[in-house]
Amino acid sequence: MSLSIEQVLQQAVAVLSTSSDSAQLDAEILLADILQKDRTFLRTWPEHRLTNEQARQFSDLIKRRQQGEPVAYITGKQGFWSLALSISNDTLIPRPETELLVEQALQIIPQNICWQIMDLGTGSGAIALALAKERPASHFVATDIDFASLKLAQQNAVAHHIMNVHFVAAHWLTPFNAELQLDMVVSNPPYIMSGDPHLKQGDVRYEPERALASGKTGLDDIRLIIKQSYTQLKPEGWLLIEHGYHQAEDLHQLMHEQGFISINNLRDYGNQPRLSLCQKKDKR
């Protein structure tokens, strides 16, 4: 006799609870993915029976999760803002705290004026695509140093019919030597100290280190982004950077030294300093 949704979920949660602190959620997402239904279906039809093939597939996915692989890499999907994004282990898994950057940028970008905006190190395209969808009048360029990430981000743009983002292979703003006169630069760069034990723990182990770690202090890339952005922004243009919870003062200092003004720092939903923003001086 084949097993019901309720039964396989119970077994899976028992297996995962020793290795994952979100065992119930993980099991539900993986099962919903196999059944190609949403999680509400699982709650509504707990007595629905799986085919043997589905049960076998589910147990394979549970094994992968038990060994530590992040749910988002197993399903190849992650929700961010209003978008269901395809992801792969070439990119960081978009985090809920990064929605703070999107929320803040949207407070600044006007609705019906064409701003020129760059997203540096776009990964799966999460930030650029969320902003571009909300601000169709603006034009976005999203860069990444990794071709596989750019391809994925582009696929996400196509899947969501987002036409106002262009993707360019670049290491931050290095290849752009003319003044771009940008209205805004946004970035969620790597900012963890290389050698930080956090890199060897949990889901983070599976993510590309190039997207996470940035030198001894974690500030190597941020330093470069602040410097290069100043050159490429127009007067009064904005820079928004996500960073580690202990880096707000460092960013303030670096932004100030570069000549940025209106420097501000915002906390994420976990009440950790997570985003710094500033403006290039006007011409006066």
Q: What is the DSSP letter of 49?
A: B
Nearer to ligand GLN, 134 or 196 (CB): 196
Contact 58, 8 (CB under 8 A): yes
User: 186 forms bridges with which residues in the sheet?
Assistant: 119, 240
Q: Which two tokens stand for residue 192?
A: 């963890």
Distance in angstroms (rounded) separating the CA atoms of residues 4 and 155 = 36
Q: Which of these, 138, 45, 158, 216, lies nearest to 150 by C-alpha position?
A: 158
Closer to ligand GLN by Cβ: residue 149 or 188: 188
Nearest of 137, 93, 97 to residue 115 by alpha carbon: 137
> CB 112 → ligand GLN: shortest distance, Å?
31
Which residues bind to ligand GLN, rule: CB under 6 A? 95, 188, 190-192, 204, 212
At its nearest, how many Å lie between ligand GLN and the CB of residue 204? 5
| C-beta of 200 vs 284, nearer to ligand GLN | 200
CA dist 123 and 130 (Å) reads 13
Contacts 24+ apart (CB under 8 A), 20-24: 20/65, 20/66
Residue placing its CB nearer to ligand GLN in the complex, 124 or 138? 124
What is the gyration radius of the CA atoms in the chain, in angstroms? 21
Given the DSSP bridges, would you call strands 182-187 and 139-144 parallel, antiparallel or unpaired? unpaired
Taking the least distance from each CB to ligand GLN, the nearer of 143 and 188 is 188
Nearer to ligand GLN, 31 or 241 (CB): 241
Nearer to ligand GLN, 95 or 139 (CB): 95
- For tokens 């549970």, what's the residue? 62
Nearest distance from C-beta of residue 95 to ligand GLN, angstroms: 6
Looking at residue 4, the DSSP 8-state letter turns out to be B
Q: At its nearest, how many Å lie between ligand GLN and the CB of residue 21?
A: 15
CB 255, CB 223: distance < 8 Å: no
